[in-house]
Amino acid sequence: MTEQPLRPGSRLRVWYRPMRSRDRSESHRVATPLELLFDLCFVVAVGQAATSLHHALAEGHAAHGVTSFATVFFAVWWGWLNFSWFASAFDTDDVPYRLATLVQIAGGLTVAASVPRAFDGDFRLMVIGYVLMRLAMVFQWLRAARSDRGCRPAALRYATGIAVVQVLWIAYLWLPQGMRLAAFIVFALLEMAVPVWAESRHGTTWHPHHIAERYGLFTLIVLGEVILSATNAIKEGAAEPGHVGALVSLAAAGLVLVFSMWWLYFDRPGHARLVARPTMFTSMSWGYGHYFIFASVAAVGAGLEVAVAYDTGTLHDLGGVAAALPTTLPVAIFLLSVWLLHIGPTNECRPIAIGFPVTAVLVVAASFTPAPIHVAAVLAAALVTLTVVSTHGQPQP
């Protein structure tokens, strides 16, 4: 750890630093090794959620699988989001901060281990892991309230709001099964209302470039998880004789699809909108909206696994359209989310502003073609081409 200047005779600061707000205009603000470790641990939970979604889809339980995936992914995403924005404003990197982060990682891994149970309706272990993560955040916010007078009102609101909602999540375990989905929606909305309430009068000093980098890195890691899932599925499928040609073709289409998603997400600098419109609505909508980007990317991995199983003949209960939609629908959601968060419907480059939603519709329509993944890959690549031509190969400002 880099030590701050110490007063003569002061040794306490070597392992402890007052948790004061960092400068929003701080130069060279980048992700720390601890943040990268945090991301890698949380992507384990993302992988578990995608795997469970794949099993549910393969067994023909699409509605249950999608609902379970959406709820499980919220727990993973919300824990990651809260840590990332807090660290952007208050990362002291001292010993108490690192130990609190360790507790959050432990909670995230507990959530990861609980994913299969949660898909079966048992949320006890997941709530334990989730509450563990969130109580560690309460500790961090109380530290910030104690050390930083300027951010004390917001920090105390964060700590109070998070603590109250955790009581509700614990009570969730005793609710009748028929009430749980409605309760989940209400409690999730309350979770998302806490930052709005806390930041309404005294905002925190998160760093726009740092936040954009954190979101971009997590997007990269989730894209890597998609490639890993598809590779494992193709490896298993290759063990079945007579499918090598189809699998090679599907692997190529999947790679083009993932590469196109990467290109389209990173074509416009992630911080551009945060810097251009530094309002609470912009930061909240951009930060919250990434739920659909992260979740759709993770779901593409599950969809490609279903497509591999269908092409190798191991799925007998799904038709061609049902086997294609788990890939095409998430890709369409991804395109619409990137369009809304990064591009904007009123973007001055009209071919791009129109191209994203039109391509999203066509990708879903590709589900009804004989080679849906291949057609979706061609459409995504065509959108990349349109973007490059419209911007003359330069990232949009």
Place of tokens 């393969």: 58
DSSP one-letter string for 226-288: HHHHHHHHHHHHHTSTT-HHHHHHHHHHHHHHHHHHHHHHHSS-TTHHHHHS-SHHHHHHHHH
Q: Are 285 and 182 found together in one domain?
A: no
Domain end position, chosen among 199, 232, 247: 199
Q: Compute CA distances 171 → 23, 176, 261, whole Å.
A: 39, 11, 40
pLDDT of residue 6: 40
Measured CA to CA, the distance from residue 319 to residue 299 in angstroms comes to: 19
Long-range contacts of 59-66 (CB under 8 A, 24+ apart): 59/317, 60/317, 60/318, 60/322, 62/322, 62/326, 64/119, 65/119
In a domain, 317, yes or no: yes
Q: Are 131 and 258 found together in one domain?
A: no
pLDDT of residue 247: 83
Does the structure show a pLDDT above 70 at 8?
A: no
Residue-wise pLDDT tens digits, 119-155? 999 999 999 999 999 999 999 999 999 998 889 999 9
Residue 27 confidence class, pLDDT cut points 50, 70, 90: confident
In a domain, 18, yes or no: no
pLDDT of residue 145: 93
Q: Are 164 and 247 found together in one domain?
A: no
Does the structure show a pLDDT above 80 at 345?
A: no
Domain end position, chosen among 199, 218, 242: 199
Domain end position, chosen among 168, 199, 230: 199
In a domain, 12, yes or no: no
In a domain, 13, yes or no: no
pLDDT of residue 202: 78
pLDDT of residue 326: 93
Q: Are 228 and 125 found together in one domain?
A: no
pLDDT of residue 392: 67
**CATH code of the domain covering residue 236:** 1.20.1410
Q: Are 221 and 194 found together in one domain?
A: no
Q: Are 293 and 374 found together in one domain?
A: yes
Q: Are 144 and 244 found together in one domain?
A: no
Residue 252 sits in which domain range? 208-391
Helix (H) or strand (E) holding 79: helix 62-90
Does the structure show a pLDDT above 90 at 204?
A: no
Q: Are 212 and 325 found together in one domain?
A: yes
Measured CA to CA, the distance from residue 219 to residue 212 in angstroms comes to: 11
DSSP 150: T
Return mean pLDDT, the chain. 88
Tokens of 378: 């061609």
